[in-house]
Amino acid sequence: MNEDEHAHRIVIVGGGAGGLELATRLGNSLGRRGKAEITLVDAARTHIWKPLLHQLAAGSFDTHAEEIEYLAQARWNHFRFRLGRLESIDRQARLIHLSPSYDAHGAEITPPQQIPYDTLVIAIGSQTNDFGTRGAAQNAIKLDNPESARRFNDRLINACLRAQTVPVGAGQGRLTVTIVGAGATGVELAAELHATAKVLTSYGLEHVSPESELKIVLVEAAPRILAQLPERLSEAASRELRALGIEIHSNERVVEVTADAVHMQSGKVIPSTLTVWAAGIKAPDFLKEFGGLEVNRLNQLLVGPTLQTTLDPAIFAMGDCASCPQGDSTVPPRAQAAHQQANYLTRTIMRIIAGKTVKPFKFQDYGSLVSLASYSSVGSLMGSLSRGSLFVEGQVAKFMYWSLHKKHQLALSGVARTVLITASEWLDRVHRPRIKLH
């Protein structure tokens, strides 16, 4: 390799489930052998598996055991990590521009940066879509990232401590958590909050018992909860939630969120101490003007069957920020899709660098699983077209949900580290409170 040549530069923007798995796989295949330089870019320093954000919000899992440090992951798996937020792109010069990063006091950590690429992968995920609902941005918390989940947990614990010292008086409402959106995130959060309240009660906060003072409300615009999943799964989850005393309002569209209430189009008003918005997703707004690439109405980058963007074959998009054709529809925004795309892009990018032809991406739907905290889980496992789907619930579904998380850990950490992580999780249950209390 002479002075004018360089190893193929692969830049991956976004360290979520798909982006981090891709960086790890490419680092261990191409980076280890010096066949390419792999760089991962993210605005955060650590990775938490997004399907666990509802547990982080409820305080029911230990982030120290779960968080993956990007710098350490890069060191162990032969890629580089750059801290920064994607700001713009120069497609002609093949450069991405990162905005400066700052600490909590406003001091600059990293200056503006430019990173050259030969192959660019956009994997920045999605954010909650409030559809412009009046007051939602100001008065509802969106569980888009670990920071917002921790912020909700802080407010929840504060509200519980206040309820303990200032009990509900005559004519006053209960401590109410309203969750707008009864998809998987909303349903899982509702069950997790109920379990958290029971643990808080056991630690002496009697006034936040889910049987008395705490009220959990789910609001859904569709006719049923988990509307995107099979009806049988929706019915099973509804049955479990109602048995826990969780209130469900379906066919109700929210038109306004105020500091202390949620207002419906029907005229119904729910007094709310804490409101979480978990309805709908979209890709970040800046993608609308990202290098002139094509996007849909949800700001997702349009890609072809090989996940290459429609206007630039050097740029790929994957996960929730990509709109990938799949028959008459598009690949759904699920963790299993991002995992499959990471596997696919590992092989595809290696073949492109080697000058070989590539096959189109094909998403295999293995079904859906929804965790109802420690109470239960429900799921639908996809079989062949002739066999349809297999409905599972209870302990079988709980084990399968747990195994999905372990599969993600295996992809990032290998067998030995995953065994150690699992052991540390079990040890933490022995000497730590079952939930985060501060």
What is the mean predicted confidence (pLDDT) over 124-149?
92
For 235-258, how does the pLDDT look when each residue is reduced to its tens digit (9 = 90+)?
888 988 998 899 999 999 999 999
For 146-190, how does the pLDDT look when each residue is reduced to its tens digit (9 = 90+)?
889 889 888 888 887 777 777 655 445 578 999 999 988 899 889
For 204-228, how does the pLDDT look when each residue is reduced to its tens digit (9 = 90+)?
666 666 666 788 999 999 999 988 8
* Fold that domain 8-126+283-353 belongs to in CATH: FAD/NAD(P)-binding domain (3.50.50)
Highest mean pLDDT among 49-53, 349-353, 383-387: 349-353
pLDDT at residue 310 tops 50: yes
- What pLDDT, on a 0 to 100 scale, did the predictor assign at position 401? 56
- Indicate the domain borders of the chain: 8-126+283-353, 136-279
Query: Helix count (H) and strand count (E) of the chain?
Result: 10, 30
pLDDT at residue 429 tops 80: no
Which residue, 243, 195, 176, is CA-closest to 54?
A: 195
Residue 340 CA from chain centroid, whole number: 16
**Confidence band, pLDDT 50/70/90 cuts, at residue 265:** very high
Token pair of 52 as six digits = 């666990």
pLDDT at residue 2 tops 70: no
- What pLDDT, on a 0 to 100 scale, did the predictor assign at position 194? 86
Of 171 and 197, the structure prediction assigns the larger pLDDT to 197
- What pLDDT, on a 0 to 100 scale, did the predictor assign at position 321? 95
Neighbouring residues of 378: CB distance < 8 A, sequence distance ≥ 6: 233, 236, 237, 240, 369, 370, 372, 391, 392, 393, 397
What is the CATH class of 136-279? alpha beta
Q: Under a CB-based contact definition with an 8 Å cutoff, are residues 224 and 250 in contact?
A: yes
- What pLDDT, on a 0 to 100 scale, did the predictor assign at position 217? 95
Q: Indicate if 136-279 has the same CATH topology as 8-126+283-353.
A: yes
CA–CA dist 301, 308 (Å, integer)? 10
Q: How many CB atoms lie within 10 A of CB 396?
A: 12
For 79-94, how does the pLDDT look when each residue is reduced to its tens digit (9 = 90+)?
999 999 999 999 999 9
CA–CA dist 48, 188 (Å, integer)? 17
First-to-last alpha carbon distance for the chain, in angstroms, is 55
